Amino acid sequence: MRLFFTLVVLGSFAMGLFFLSQQPKDQEAPVPAAQQEQQTISSAQTTPSQVSKATSKPTAKTEQSDKNSFDFYQLLPESEVEAPKVEAYKSTPKDPNKKTNTLLQAGSFRNKKDADSMRAKLILLNLPNVVVEKTTNASGSVWYRVRVGPFANRSMLNKAEDILAQNHIAPLRINRK
């Protein structure tokens, strides 16, 4: 198995090298930055007669690069785009005194004693309408759910959630219709 895998890998490598050798050669390779610096230094050391000879015959590369170059100062005003006018968004603030029909469930217990203990703790925290509800599942198991609320408005609901969170109790929001 190892031999087969090794042969497949070596064959793939050989095919890759073959395809790379068949690629056409680049016309001009990019000049490294170190060589460009040396060329600029050597051109700065030329004599005035060499400069006049060099400037008298423009090369094809220079003419082509002049055609491809562009001037930002001329193109920028031509390419200005005006943004369309959009009306400002008008928000509709929520009414903080709007009646909510939301309860907070502080816990769910199988033992009534634990539920009553949680209820007492919540009453000592001055939370309104703390109730223990007994529910039975379809399987017949009994659960005691400790709930707080409903609240008169959203701000009271948020305040109750903050109190529960400060006492390391993760409440569950229950929306009633």
Residue ranges per structural domain of the chain: 102-175
Q: pLDDT tens digit string along 54-75?
A: 444 555 555 555 555 666 667 6
Whether 108 contacts 145, CB under 8 Å:
yes
Q: Return the minimum-mean-pLDDT range out of 17-31, 33-47, 89-103, 135-149.
A: 33-47
For residue 53, give the amino acid letter: K
SS3 content of the chain, % helix, strand, coil (to 5): 45, 15, 40
Q: What is the pTM of this model?
A: 0.43
On the question of a cis peptide bond just before residue 32, with omega within 30 degrees of 0, the verdict is no
Tell me which of 144 and 176 has the higher pLDDT. Answer: 144
Q: Which CATH code for domain 102-175?
A: 3.30.70.1070
pLDDT band at 27 (very low <50, low <70, confident <90, very high): low
Q: Order of strands, edge to edge, in the sheet holding 102-109?
A: 130-136, 142-148, 102-109, 172-175
Q: pLDDT tens digit string along 115-164?
A: 999 888 888 888 888 888 888 888 888 899 999 888 878 888 888 889 89
Position 54 scores a pLDDT of: 46
Position 29 scores a pLDDT of: 57
Position 171 scores a pLDDT of: 87
